[in-house]
């Protein structure tokens, strides 16, 4: 298990790399947050504070931007993140049954992370894959034309 | 010079890649190399999708053989047979009779593909294929023969209206930005297609990004902009990638950047990703997001044309608006204006979703009726059920019942019918859809996406959602309908931006056309479409039940009791209305009321 200093160093390294890539300008705040969120899995408070200091933007403002956008998370997530599309076209195509199956299989409600840290269950904005709905993403893998009975098999592929 | 005798269009749809498509492609490329066929057989990525259930697939041209369900182990044999021996491998061919769900199929007779003309037929990562289809010829003409005012005249004559939903005359918007004072001027492409069910922009960006780039350069020249952004939602990673490749290639060819086509005109373009906020499709919220802020809309005036991003004059148009520009310049304003209705010229892409046989993208001239779209182009309702309603314009559009099927589709007619054009999403609903549930569903979406800045939207949508949820849970009260109507009219009138103003539309339209369903939920505690779980009852018909015990064994909550060969009974207090008993019963004995 990494020590506190090791985690902190890791955060600094990743934040600095994002700042270097995009440049230290206020208008680059969202791309910077996106990169840090992707590399760390979420946006820890330490990362937000460091970004605030480097960009010379108040901490509250950085926090307000980080908490506004759906794709950023200020809480740690599980090893595998399930994002299910719960929008109308997927819903009309049988999404309700698939969503029930997902909740049952993971024993989670929306926004929760399992106690063993394996799964997080989230919903996502429409992915534009409505022609093959219902759709979900696990990490970077996309699954379409879902039915409830496909869920256990798909989930079993993830360690 | 190599002579390519065979082209393989390999579907790189994310769903396909997730089913082993990556391995299949690598093996395919390896085998082609192994047999020294690299100069004869070319593998091209295509975003075009077949039925995504059939797994990794590709099409071999010129024969047109569509191979599906492939695994890496199949490839060596397939390559040998198809490319060395010239023999089709029947066992991997897509079944011809199977009805396929495609994102973008071959055009049906009533379609006219302008914006979608290149989608699926060119390699979006190769600028030369776009050029071969008269790409950038319009830009060349503009930069060498036309002044900005000449271009404005052409766009005005074409009658092009913004395709993002509001339908504002494009030439007028450009003119306002052109005349505004301030420098530098900016050009933005709104690629934040957030409407659930709409994926037209995604397809254009993934399949024909240069049409957008070219349109933007022409617009920039016309208004005098030197810097542009394509604000693309992060939920479209392939579109972002294809756009970036297109921009780089255009720059390398001198079609973007400094001294375009060797003229004095320079224009820089970059992609900015969204971060999952539907409201950022609203132009002022989008501007805030590019500036690194919370995506909260601000009041207009001032309009972006005079004071936009970084406080400078900015022109914002939708992806589809820009994608039309090269064709209008190249083929002429008259050609474009020959299509459509008197006030709505040209074509529009729509994304058909929901309970229709052929979901996917279509492009039709304005003036076509909803009936033609649903039945002729869409193939009718899935499983031949009845038509109940169609929602146009995204989550803030209205739901129109069957009596509106003969409505010709254009901006004015949809608005006066109580709906709107929006970006082009159309969700078709069959007769097993509960319209109260649908209204609640859309309100859930808009409530979650409300930026929270203004009270009418932030609080009003929440109150509406609470009432609708109560009604669907069987706890509707006398007076609820009147409260809903009052809330809707206040939110529409007082909200700051289009999201708030449009959020009540599904409720308003369903109250207008399906009031009886609301009344049944509230006063009779019944859901006529048998969808709302709290209002439906599962029971077993003793005449049909043979006591096979299948339902009892499958019930997840043990709500069914009965001995073998005896009629079974469902306990209504335990039953969770999951519907499994009905699905497994082979004797049609489960009744839903």
Rounded to 5 degrees, φ, ψ at B339 are: -105, 150
HSE on the CB side for B424, CA within 13 Å?
28
Instruction: Decide if pLDDT at B25 tops 50.
Output: yes
User: What is residue A6's predicted lDDT score, i.e. its pLDDT?
Assistant: 65
- C-alpha–C-alpha distance, residues B593 and B585, integer Å: 17
The helix (H) or strand (E) run that includes residue B400 is strand B399-401
- C-alpha–C-alpha distance, residues B162 and B147, integer Å: 22
Task: Extract the tokens encoding B556.
Answer: 């997840």
Are A84 and A152 in the same domain? yes
Are A101 and A145 in the same domain? yes
A35 belongs to a structural domain: yes
Are A45 and A98 in the same domain? no
- C-alpha–C-alpha distance, residues B395 and B249, integer Å: 37
- C-alpha–C-alpha distance, residues B67 and B85, integer Å: 17
User: What is residue B54's predicted lDDT score, i.e. its pLDDT?
Assistant: 66
User: Per mean pLDDT, which range of B39-48, B116-125, B279-288 is the poorest?
Assistant: B39-48
Residues B235/B275, Cβ–Cβ less than 8 Å: no
Range of the structural domain that residue A104 is part of: 80-156
Contact A129 B395 (CB under 8 A): no
User: What is residue B508's predicted lDDT score, i.e. its pLDDT?
Assistant: 96
- The per-residue pLDDT for range B430-464, each reduced to its tens digit, is 998 999 999 998 999 899 889 899 999 999 999 99
Nearest Cα of chain B lies from the Cα of A31 at a distance, in angstroms, of 7
* Per-residue pLDDT band at B56 (split at 50, 70, 90): confident
Tracing tokens 């989930």 back to the chain, one arrives at A155
Most confident stretch, B24-33, B250-259, B417-426, B579-588? B250-259
- Residue B4, number of CB atoms within 10 A of its CB: 12
User: What is residue B512's predicted lDDT score, i.e. its pLDDT?
Assistant: 94
Are A53 and A86 in the same domain? no
Q: Classify B261 in phi/psi space as left (phi over 0), alpha (psi -120 to 50) or beta.
A: left
Domain boundary among A68, A91, A122: A68
Task: Extract the tokens encoding B173.
Answer: 């918007």
* Count of the separate structural domains present in chain A: 2
User: What is residue B100's predicted lDDT score, i.e. its pLDDT?
Assistant: 44
A123 belongs to a structural domain: yes
Which residues contact residue B331 at a Cβ distance below 8 angstroms, ignoring those fewer than 6 apart? none
The helix (H) or strand (E) run that includes residue B513 is helix B505-513
User: What is residue B102's predicted lDDT score, i.e. its pLDDT?
Assistant: 58
Interface mutation vs chain B, best among A131, A133, A152, A153, most B CBs within 10 Å: A131
Mean pLDDT of B195-222: 94
B586 class by beta-carbon count within 10 Å (0-12 exposed, 13-18 middle, 19+ buried): exposed
| B-proximal residues of A, 94-153, CB under 8 Å | 97, 100, 124-133, 135, 141-145
Instruction: Decide if pLDDT at B424 tops 50.
Output: yes
**Per residue in B77-93, is it b (16+ CB within 10 Å) or e — as a string?**
ebbeebbeeeeebeebe
Higher pLDDT, A36 or B19: A36
User: What is residue B130's predicted lDDT score, i.e. its pLDDT?
Assistant: 96
Are A89 and A139 in the same domain? yes
A75 belongs to a structural domain: no
User: Per mean pLDDT, which range of A56-60, B60-64, B95-99, B285-289 is the poorest?
Assistant: B95-99
Q: CATH number, domain at A97?
A: 3.40.30.10
Mean pLDDT of B569-578: 89
- The per-residue pLDDT for range B305-342, each reduced to its tens digit, is 999 999 999 999 999 999 999 999 999 999 999 999 99
User: What is residue B45's predicted lDDT score, i.e. its pLDDT?
Assistant: 83
Task: Extract the tokens encoding B166.
Answer: 């509001």
- C-alpha–C-alpha distance, residues B457 and B278, integer Å: 14
Size of interface A-B (CB pairs under 8 A): 139
Mean pLDDT of B455-481: 95
Are A90 and A55 in the same domain? no
Chain B neighbors of A141, CB-CB under 8 A: 14, 18
Are A64 and A101 in the same domain? no
A102 belongs to a structural domain: yes
Q: Where are the beta strands (DSSP E) in B68-223?
A: 185-191
CA B28 to chain centre: 32
Candidate from B291, B295, B579 with C-beta closest to A68 = B295
Nearest Cα of chain A lies from the Cα of B102 at a distance, in angstroms, of 7
Are A21 and A86 in the same domain? no
Q: What is the mean pLDDT of chain B?
A: 91
Candidate from A71, A87, A91 with C-beta closest to B276 = A71
Higher pLDDT, B98 or B30: B30
Are A54 and A104 in the same domain? no
User: What is residue B97's predicted lDDT score, i.e. its pLDDT?
Assistant: 41
- The per-residue pLDDT for range B177-187, each reduced to its tens digit, is 999 999 999 99
Contact B354 A93 (CB under 8 A): yes
Chain A neighbors of B235, CB-CB under 8 A: 124-128
Q: Is A47 on the interface with B (CB under 8 A)?
A: no
Candidate from A72, A88, A127 with C-beta closest to B427 = A88
What is chain B's Cα-based Rg?
27
Give the ipTM of the model, two decimals please. Answer: 0.88
- The per-residue pLDDT for range B512-539, each reduced to its tens digit, is 999 999 999 999 999 999 889 889 999 9
Domain boundary among A18, A43, A68: A68
Higher pLDDT, B49 or B477: B477
Contact B15 A69 (CB under 8 A): no
Residues in chain A predicted with pLDDT less than 50, given as ranges, are 1
Are A56 and A86 in the same domain? no
Rounded to 5 degrees, φ, ψ at B5 are: -100, -15
Which residues contact residue B540 at a Cβ distance below 8 angstroms, ignoring those fewer than 6 apart? B551, B560, B567, B568, B569, B570, B581, B589, B590, B591
User: What is residue A2's predicted lDDT score, i.e. its pLDDT?
Assistant: 53
For B288, which residue in chain A has the nearest alpha carbon? A27
User: What is residue B560's predicted lDDT score, i.e. its pLDDT?
Assistant: 93
Of the candidates A114, A105, A40, the one whose C-alpha atom is nearest the C-alpha of residue A73 is: A40
A52 belongs to a structural domain: yes
Residues B119/B111, Cβ–Cβ less than 8 Å: no
Higher pLDDT, B476 or B59: B476
- The per-residue pLDDT for range B91-120, each reduced to its tens digit, is 888 775 444 445 677 778 889 999 999 988
- C-alpha–C-alpha distance, residues A47 and A27, integer Å: 18
HSE on the CB side for B248, CA within 13 Å?
9
- The per-residue pLDDT for range B499-512, each reduced to its tens digit, is 999 999 999 999 99
Which residues contact residue B402 at a Cβ distance below 8 angstroms, ignoring those fewer than 6 apart? B387, B388, B389
Candidate from A25, A31, A70 with C-beta closest to B276 = A70
Contact B196 A145 (CB under 8 A): no
Of the candidates B173, B9, B124, B427, the one whose C-alpha atom is nearest the C-alpha of residue A126 is: B427
Nearest Cα of chain B lies from the Cα of A79 at a distance, in angstroms, of 18
A125 belongs to a structural domain: yes
Nearest Cα of chain B lies from the Cα of A76 at a distance, in angstroms, of 18
Which residues on adjacent β-strands are paired with residue B569?
A: B561
Are A63 and A104 in the same domain? no
Tracing tokens 């979703």 back to the chain, one arrives at B353
Domain boundary among A68, A89, A119: A68
Candidate from A33, A65, A130 with C-beta closest to B197 = A130
The alpha carbon dihedral of B68, B69, B72, B77 has a sign of negative
Are A85 and A152 in the same domain? yes
User: What is residue B252's predicted lDDT score, i.e. its pLDDT?
Assistant: 96
A115 belongs to a structural domain: yes
Which domains occur in chain B, in start order?
A: 6-92 (3.40.30.10), 127-337 (3.40.50.11540), 347-430 (3.10.20.600), 435-524 (1.20.1440.230), 537-592 (3.30.70.20)
A135 belongs to a structural domain: yes
Nearest Cα of chain B lies from the Cα of A92 at a distance, in angstroms, of 6
């Amino acid at each position: 298990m990494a020590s506190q200093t090791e985690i902190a160093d890791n955060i600094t390294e990743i934040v600095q790399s994002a700042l270097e890539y995009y440049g230290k300008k206020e208008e680059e705040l969202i791309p910077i947050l996106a990169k840090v969120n992707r590399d760390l899995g979420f946006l820890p408070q330490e990362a937000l504070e460091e970004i605030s200091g480097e960009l010379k933007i108040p901490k509250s403002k950085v926090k307000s931007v980080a908490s506004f956008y759906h794709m950023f998370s200020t809480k740690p997530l599980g090893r595998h993140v399930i994002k299910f599309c719960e929008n109308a076209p997927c819903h009309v195509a049988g999404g309700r049954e698939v969503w029930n199956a997902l909740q049952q299989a993971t024993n989670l409600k929306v926004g929760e992370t399992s106690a063993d840290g394996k799964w997080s269950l989230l919903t996502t904005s429409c992915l534009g894959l409505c022609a093959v709905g219902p759709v979900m993403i696990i990490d970077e893998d996309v699954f379409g034309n879902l039915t409830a009975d496909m869920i256990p098999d798909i989930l079993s592929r993830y360690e | 010079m190599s002579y390519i005798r065979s082209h393989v269009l390999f579907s790189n749809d994310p769903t396909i890649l997730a089913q082993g498509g990556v391995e299949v492609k690598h093996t395919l490329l390896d085998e082609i190399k192994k047999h020294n066929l690299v100069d004869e057989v070319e593998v091209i990525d295509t975003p075009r999708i077949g039925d995504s259930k059939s797994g990794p697939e590709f099409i071999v041209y010129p024969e047109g053989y569509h191979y599906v369900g492939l695994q890496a182990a199949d490839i060596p044999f397939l390559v040998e047979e198809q490319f060395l021996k010239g023999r089709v491998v029947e066992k991997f061919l897509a079944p011809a009779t199977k009805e396929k769900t495609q994102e973008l199929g071959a055009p049906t007779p009533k379609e006219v593909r302008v914006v979608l003309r290149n989608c699926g037929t060119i390699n979006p990562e190769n600028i030369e294929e776009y050029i071969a289809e008269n790409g950038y010829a319009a830009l060349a003409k503009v930069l060498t023969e036309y002044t900005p005012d000449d271009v404005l005249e052409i766009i005005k004559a074409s009658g092009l209206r913004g395709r993002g939903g509001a339908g504002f005359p494009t030439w007028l918007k450009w003119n306002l930005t052109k005349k505004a004072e301030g420098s530098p001027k900016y050009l933005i492409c709104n690629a934040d297609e957030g409407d659930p069910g709409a994926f037209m922009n995604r397809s254009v960006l993934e399949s024909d990004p240069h049409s957008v780039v070219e349109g933007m350069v022409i617009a920039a020249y016309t208004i005098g902009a030197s810097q542009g952004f394509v604000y693309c939602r992060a939920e479209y990673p392939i579109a972002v990638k294809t756009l970036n490749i297109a921009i780089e290639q255009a720059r390398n060819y001198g079609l973007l950047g400094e001294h375009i086509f060797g003229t004095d005109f320079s224009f820089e373009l970059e992609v900015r990703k969204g971060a999952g906020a539907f409201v950022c499709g609203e132009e002022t919220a989008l501007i805030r997001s590019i500036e690194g802020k919370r995506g909260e809309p601000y009041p207009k005036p001032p309009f972006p044309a005079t004071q936009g991003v970084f406080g400078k004059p900015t022109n914002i148009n939708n992806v589809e608006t820009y994608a039309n520009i090269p064709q209008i310049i190249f083929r002429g304003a008259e050609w474009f204006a020959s299509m459509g209705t008197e006030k709505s010229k040209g074509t529009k892409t729509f994304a058909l979703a929901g309970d229709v046989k052929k979901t996917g993208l279509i492009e039709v001239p304005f003036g076509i009726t909803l009936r033609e779209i649903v039945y002729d182009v869409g193939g009718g309702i899935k499983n031949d059920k009845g038509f109940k309603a169609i929602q146009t314009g995204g989550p803030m559009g209205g739901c129109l019942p069957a009596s509106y099927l003969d409505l010709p589709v254009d901006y004015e007619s949809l608005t006066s019918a109580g709906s709107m054009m929006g970006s082009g999403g159309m969700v078709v609903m069959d007769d097993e859809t509960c319209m109260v549930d649908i209204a609640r569903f859309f309100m859930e979406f808009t409530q979650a996406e409300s930026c929270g800045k203004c009270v009418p939207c932030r609080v009003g949508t929440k109150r509406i959602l609470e009432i609708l949820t109560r009604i669907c849970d069987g706890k509707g009260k006398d007076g609820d309908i009147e409260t809903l109507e009052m809330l809707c009219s206040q939110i529409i009138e007082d909200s700051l931006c289009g999201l708030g103003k449009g959020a009540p539309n599904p409720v308003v339209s369903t109250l207008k056309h399906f009031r009886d369903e609301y009344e049944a939920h509230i006063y009779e505690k019944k859901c006529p479409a048998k969808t709302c779980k709290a209002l439906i009852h599962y029971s077993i018909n003793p005449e049909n039940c043979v006591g096979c015990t299948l339902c009892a064994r499958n019930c997840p909550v043990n709500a069914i009791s009965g001995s073998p060969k005896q009629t079974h009974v469902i306990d209504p207090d335990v039953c969770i209305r999951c519907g499994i008993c009905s699905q497994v019963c082979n004797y049609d004995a489960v009744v839903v009321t």
